[in-house]
Amino acid sequence: MGSSADRPRRLNLQQRSKLAGEAAAAAAEVETALAQPADPNAAAFFDVDNTVMQGASIFHLARGLYRRDFFTTRDLLGAAWKQAYFRVVGVEDPEHVAEARNSALAFIAGHTVQELEEIGEEIFDEAMAHRIWPGTRALAQMHLDQGQRVWLVTAAPIEIASLIARRLGLTGALGTVAEHVDGVYTGRLVGDMLHGPAKAVAVRALAEREGLDLSACSAYSDSYNDLPMLGLVGDPCAINPDPKLRAHARAHGWRIRDYRTGRKAARAGLVVGSAATGAALAGTLVRRQIRRHGG
């Protein structure tokens, strides 16, 4: 049992999570074409990373921004390590999430909202479009064809989340809200990252605003961390699930869909392959930096 000193910290985290969810719901964009759906009481909510898209969208964004000199090699290598861990282990490490919270989106400080949105379009085309899982995309389209609204729910910045939703023809998105003043990012977040319990807060707030019946809604995710969101709806589904979510889904009779290939390969082989890829990436980036600075 935690000490009394731990309680203020837990309360603070809960408050930050609640604020993040409320901010995401307030900032959510809705495509006007779907403002009056045929099935107004139902909607589907999709996590993005490893559910809609292979890998972590924030990493693809960060790599694209690095190529445009937004930040340093060291920053990118940190992101690369987290991405390698995410893809090999298939579950988000709480320590990595905490580190990400402390430094999330700091690299966009001083840049404008318009700049990120314009560059985001380029990054989607070059790094994200071909990583969309066709099976998940088909599930989203199924809901749209039934006259339901479809929302992305992700820790990625709301600007990028909305861009992905728009490019996929979805209703809208809920994402992490980065603070900006007069259209310029400060590098701070409104509340916290839209992660774990914050996603459930955002979905519930959106449902109340849009008049949705959560018992008639569906939710999709790959991560056990998204149980708060999955548990809100009447039709939860595990997509490319991590081991804990797969076990939970089986125990509760939830649908499971796995669109990955080669997932039965030996873990040792995966680790070696990812380590080699990481080492190659590090070497390439270091050499690029040496050439750039004339070292």
Active-site annotation, residues: 47, 49
Handedness of CA 228, 233, 234, 235 (dihedral sign): negative
Helices 267-293 & 73-89, crossing angle to 10 degrees? 170
Q: What is the 3-class SS of 27-78, one letter each residue?
A: HCEECHHHCCCCCCCCEEEECCECCCECCCHHHHHHHHHHCCCCCCHHHHHH
Nearest to 206 by CA among 156, 157, 155, 150: 150
Q: How far is CA 85 from the centre of its chain?
A: 16
Q: Find where tokens 């809920």 sit.
A: 174
* Rounded CA separation 188/157 (Å): 12
Three-state DSSP at 132 gives: strand
Nearest to 199 by CA among 171, 231, 240: 231
Number of H helices, E strands in the chain: 11, 9
* Rounded CA separation 17/200 (Å): 10
First to last CA, the chain: 54
* 105: its two tokens: 């989106």
* Rounded CA separation 100/106 (Å): 10
* 23: its two tokens: 């901010």
Burial degree of 96 (CB within 10 A; 0-12, 13-18, 19+):
middle
Cα-atom radius of gyration of the chain, to the nearest Å? 19
